[in-house]
Structure 1
Amino acid sequence: MAGTTLPTPLYGLYQQEIGFSELVVTLVFAVYALAVITVLLVAGNYSDDVGRRPVLLAAMAFSAASAGCFLLERGLPLLFAGRLLSGVAAGLLSGAATAAVIELARPGRKARAGFAATAANMGGLGCGPLLSGLLAQYAPRPLTLVFWVHLGLIAVGCLITWSLPETVEHPKRWPPLRPQGVSVPDEVKGVFVPASVAAFAGFALLGLFTAVAPSFVATTLDVHNLAVTGAVVFSVFLASTAGQSLTPMVGVRRALPVGCGLLVVGLMLVASSLIAQSLPLLVVGALCGGTGQGLAFRAALTLIGDAAPAHHRGGTISAFFVVAYTGISLPVVGVGAMATWLGLRTAGLVFSVCVMVIAACAGTYAALRPPMERSTEPAARASDSL
């Protein structure tokens, strides 16, 4: 997952080298999200049939191809291709890796496995910009070294994945794809809407930080250190991981509205940082909003995974991620479009207000009509389906 966010602090360098507008930056990011959504729709449930391990190895192959595009980068076409391949990798990983981690856990250790999946998902997304920011700022070859490091990490991941047992019983040998679209079993629909709306708002915040925050930091806050930029983006994902770890203590039914409330406060702080041109306020907003996103995200997945039948769990989780990745792409493209004629600062303020409204609506609905939890084994699995 770290590979999907490696280019985040580097967009400014690509802009200087190639020459393109802020809108193009958001379009490059949107291509990634579009690829994720397409793969989830077409092959989101494929690992339920063919097995987890082949899908994971295929995802890492696409991730390696993405790194190759950035190493060969000579202009926008390869930049778009690299992000497209990275999106395919993330789409394959989202459902399959989550399910594999949970299924590999021994009985009684599913909660620990769930947190491991949480750390790998959001922690990996956060480590990507932190790693590339540090290497770009303090090491030679800022646009290539980090991708060589990434290829080394992929090789290690492939060796480990190859050594693990397959968790799907009687996997089929490359059956034909059965595109499912956004298919949600009837027993999940009652919790899917409020949970997915909350995820949409939370992922919109993550999209803002991964696609546009580097430009905010450089142009609005006049901070040009790439390591600082990477650390700012890392902070929102670190907070998300922390928020997810707090969900069991808060309780799933309370975590969804509480998380949405913290998300609203975090967005207010982000908006205030743009008005006051304050980096500390932006970091505090990232930490607060990220914590809220993490609380709401884990609660949403817990409730959805709890309601989903085992043989549809991978597909249901993939449908949830379709909504989430729509949130991480469409609003950010809107920011890029508005920035061309309103300015980046005003576009960020409009974005913050719109996402605040969405998060407030989802949180209010979840507070007034709290979804039911189960106390059975499926509930334990759901809590781990991150």
Structure 2
Amino acid sequence: MKIAVKAPVGRSPGFALAAYAFVAAMLGTTLPTPLYPIYQQTFGFSSLMVTVIFATYAVGVIAALLLFGRLSDEIGRRRVLLGGLLLAVASALAFLFASGLPLLFVGRLLSGLSAGIFTGTATATLVDLAPQEKQRQATLIAAGANMGGLGCGPLLAGILAQYAPQPLRLVFIVNIVLLLLAIIGTWLIPEPVEVKEHARWRPQGLQVPAQVRATFIRVVIPGFAGFAMLGLFTAVAPVFLSQMLHITNHALTGLIVFAVFAASTCGQLLLEHISQRRALPLACIGLIIGLIMVAGGLLARSLTLLVVGAIIAGLGQGLSLRAGLAAINAKSPATQRGGISSSYFVVLYVAISIPVIGVGIAAQLFGLQVAGIAFSIIMAILALIALLILLTQPAEQR
């Protein structure tokens, strides 16, 4: 038996409210990015600890994907979205009252759980609420809300940290207000799926069936390189900018990280104008060129080269993400599509965490500059390997 849930507002306003909630939730996950140098000075920890704190977020995302990936199909989209928003509020409160490392770790873990629960469910909600003929547009709006929210977080935090009082407090107060508004809006949206009376919670294991495995491996390599690059810029870039380039303006730091996420969004939109066969090779080329420029910018201590390289790599990352998902969805059986996509994202969030910790360890041993250059070159080589795999396979398999 299934329970029908009464809709407090119509589908069109519900779509707008769900999109706002998506932006608000994702915005909170990147707020700490331009604040890491301040935390370092205030609490006295190393660049390695910055990467470990950041990686805690990815642990939360992966746990949420594995544990709660199918939950909204059982208990409804709206309940899961509300749960994700409450976790985001708890994360903001942890940062607001943080006086040392423990609450920073708690805040990042809660933020990761929120993002892992929210991303897939919010995307599904927007698609469900859109009319049948506009579901492709809904997917694009979901991608824009996701990456736009991630990009606006550092920008907002950087501006407030630079020009407003209480740089480690005010931004999280603003975040909580935005999240409370999102909770009210989410409470009002219509439930787009029928809620099961006797719902069952089932953890979701990784699944990549044999018929999808070749495609999965082919697209996950550039995806790994792209997400590792995002991890570098959301975790370590502010420390690079402050320690190597002596840029202490937090608003400028936030703007630079925002530019990377904006480029990623544009990269996803490029798939509308590029054939699927050409998309992934072009994405790999963008990642290779961008990462080599980032390495050159770090070597020459050139802000211009660093930013231009980051934007080009961001375009490649966004294109590789959307093209990779499209290729996987095209090859996956409909009944297994969600689980295979979740497995793809698990690998990507491993990429956003473990390599970045490696950068932190290398920075301790060899210095930030050497660590950043080595990381960028290794990821460029990985993207080159992905490109060679794509170019040497038969044309009909691309």
Q: TM-score, normalised by structure 2?
A: 0.90
- Of 123, 128, 133, which residue of structure 2 is paired with 1:108? 133
Report the equivalent of 1:347.
371
Amino acid at match of 2:349: Y
Query: 1:187: Cα distance to partner?
Result: 4.6
Q: Is the aligned partner of 1:193 residue 2:217?
A: yes
Say if 1:132 and 1:146, in contact at 8 Å, map to a contact too. Answer: yes
RMSD: 1.6
Report the equivalent of 1:219.
243
Measured in 2, the distance between the counterparts of 1:298 and 1:313 equals 15
Report the equivalent of 2:87.
62
Quickly say closer, same or farther: Cα 1:354–1:37, change in 2 above 3 A. same
Measured in 1, the distance between the counterparts of 2:340 and 2:196 equals 19
- Of 134, 142, 158, which residue of structure 2 is paired with 1:117? 142
Report the equivalent of 1:159.
184
Measured in 1, the distance between the counterparts of 2:211 and 2:85 equals 33
Report the equivalent of 1:365.
389
Measured in 2, the distance between the counterparts of 1:188 and 1:158 equals 38
Q: Is the aligned partner of 1:300 residue 2:324?
A: yes
More displaced stretch, 363-372 vs 258-267: 363-372
Q: Is the aligned partner of 1:204 residue 2:228?
A: yes
Q: Is the aligned partner of 1:328 residue 2:352?
A: yes
Measured in 2, the distance between the counterparts of 1:43 and 1:19 equals 36
Query: 1:174: Cα distance to partner?
Result: 4.5
Report the equivalent of 1:268.
292
Measured in 2, the distance between the counterparts of 1:250 and 1:125 equals 25
Say if 1:94 and 1:318, in contact at 8 Å, map to a contact too. Answer: no
Report the equivalent of 1:87.
112
Q: Is the aligned partner of 1:37 residue 2:62?
A: yes
Query: 1:363: Cα distance to partner?
Result: 2.3
- The superposition leaves residues 128-149 of structure 1 with CA deviations (integer Å, 9 ceiling, x where unpaired) of 0010000100111111111111
- The superposition leaves residues 206-265 of structure 1 with CA deviations (integer Å, 9 ceiling, x where unpaired) of 000000000111111111100011011111100000111111201222111111110110
Measured in 2, the distance between the counterparts of 1:210 and 1:244 equals 19
Q: Structure 1 unaligned runs (5+)?
A: 374-386
- Of 256, 277, 288, which residue of structure 1 is paired with 2:301? 277
Measured in 2, the distance between the counterparts of 1:273 and 1:351 equals 13
Quickly say closer, same or farther: Cα 1:189–1:170, change in 2 above 3 A. farther
- Of 13, 24, 32, which residue of structure 2 is paired with 1:7? 32
Report the equivalent of 1:254.
278
Q: Is the aligned partner of 1:50 residue 2:75?
A: yes
Amino acid at match of 1:314: G
- Of 99, 102, 113, which residue of structure 2 is paired with 1:74? 99
Query: 1:371: Cα distance to partner?
Result: 7.0
Amino acid at match of 1:12: P
Report the equivalent of 1:20.
45
Query: 1:99: Cα distance to partner?
Result: 1.8
- The superposition leaves residues 157-213 of structure 1 with CA deviations (integer Å, 9 ceiling, x where unpaired) of 22222222223344355423x222211345533421112222111100000000000
Measured in 2, the distance between the counterparts of 1:56 and 1:173 equals 19
What is the percentage of aligned positions where both structures have the same residue? 51
Quickly say closer, same or farther: Cα 1:47–1:101, change in 2 above 3 A. same
Q: Is the aligned partner of 1:171 residue 2:159?
A: no
Amino acid at match of 1:238: A
Aligned length: 372
Measured in 1, the distance between the counterparts of 2:391 and 2:187 equals 44
Say if 1:133 and 1:229, in contact at 8 Å, map to a contact too. Answer: yes
Q: Structure 2 unaligned runs (5+)?
A: 1-25
- Of 362, 372, 395, which residue of structure 2 is paired with 1:338? 362
More displaced stretch, 151-160 vs 167-176: 167-176
